[in-house]
Amino acid sequence: MTYNNEQFHSFPAPAKLNLFLHIIGQRSDGYHQLQTIFQFLDHSDTLEIKVIEGSNIELLTPIEGVPNEDNLIVKAARLLQKHIQQSAKNTYPLPLGAQIRITKILPMGGGLGGGSSNAATILLALNTLWHANLPLDELAQLGLSLGADVPIFIHGFSAFAEGVGEELTPVHPQEHWFLVSKPDVSISTASVFTSPDLTRDTPKVNLIDDITKLDIDLCHNDCQTLVIKEYPEVAKLLAWLVEYAPSRMTGTGACIFSRFDTEKEARRIQSLLPSGIMSFVAKAVNTSPLRSAIDSLYALQESN
């Protein structure tokens, strides 16, 4: 098998929103049972990957404050590498390696799923570049060991999610424009989910009814209630934003998304934001931009 060692291939690692997030229970192993709707944004980190012979996984652009060994990018690559070798029962021709660069624009500790998205992009991209051709369900199961949000990024469609976030039912919420804003705080997902004050008994949404009839505005984010008590910066920004548009925290925060019908109106409110607030405007999409990038690469490989 011959590889082009001169070429980096580029892949998006998009943000996600939790349009709502209900915590309905906690399992004996500590994981939380939830219900949520995931939707993607056309706003992404960018990962560039070059296949190399040998078994080295090299992250050429370390992320400040995150040792490479702890980075989900490296963990995902090594997890896939090991899985391929084991599933091939030592018949795979080479222990494949990769050089990886990341251009990171998604904030850490924001609730946009940046780390999980990076991991999913690595799994999907290297599965194709290494010609492993593992099915999506198998990749999603691998990804779940890295984080509960990884499977949604693997499958790449907007979904109603249950379990710990891995039981997915495709849905098609309206693709609004969103202003995403973040105060100068970073929130640990672990600290939110281990807090004794987190609500863990929200009644389940009844899926006997058509999920398309679910009124998301009547739902909520259980994590938001806790976070605004402990992070006054988030509470203050949310109170400001709800004066202009329906606004809610995504995931465990600290990002807040505000919904608009037009890009123009979203950017107008963005221009009014208080100083010190990180923000971007993006359109929601029900199909991840990563899927088209993987499809294009696969088609290119098939034509060669």
Query: What are the extents of the domains in the chain?
Result: 1-304
d(CA 161, CA 152): 8
Dump pLDDT digits (tens) for 144-189. Answer: 999 999 999 999 999 999 999 999 999 999 999 999 999 999 999 9
Dump pLDDT digits (tens) for 40-88. Answer: 999 999 999 999 988 999 999 998 888 888 999 999 999 999 999 888 6
CB-based contacts of 245: which residues, under 8 Å, 6+ apart? 179, 258, 259, 260, 269
With bands split at pLDDT 50, 70 and 90, how would you rate the model's confidence at 13? very high
CB 250 within 8 A of CB 256: yes
d(CA 198, CA 152): 24
d(CA 149, CA 115): 9
CATH annotation of 1-304: 3.30.230.10
The CA-based angle 106-79-46, given to 5 degrees, is 25
pLDDT, the chain, mean: 92
Catalytic residues: 16, 149
Q: Where are the alpha helices (DSSP H) in 159-288?
A: 189-193, 222-230, 232-241, 263-272
Q: Which residues pair with 45 in a beta bridge?
A: 13
pTM: 0.93
C-alpha pair distances (Å), 272 with each of 246, 276, 278, 279: 16, 12, 12, 11
Dump pLDDT digits (tens) for 263-288. Answer: 999 999 999 999 999 999 999 999 99
What is residue 92's predicted lDDT score, i.e. its pLDDT? 54
SS3 294: helix
Q: Which of 5-9, 45-49, 235-239 has the lowest mean pLDDT?
A: 5-9
Torsion, CA 17, CA 70, CA 66, CA 37, rounded to 10: 0
d(CA 148, CA 165): 6
**pLDDT at 203 exceeding the cut of 70:** yes
Q: Where are the alpha helices (DSSP H) in the chain?
A: 72-87, 114-129, 136-144, 150-155, 189-193, 222-230, 232-241, 263-272, 289-303
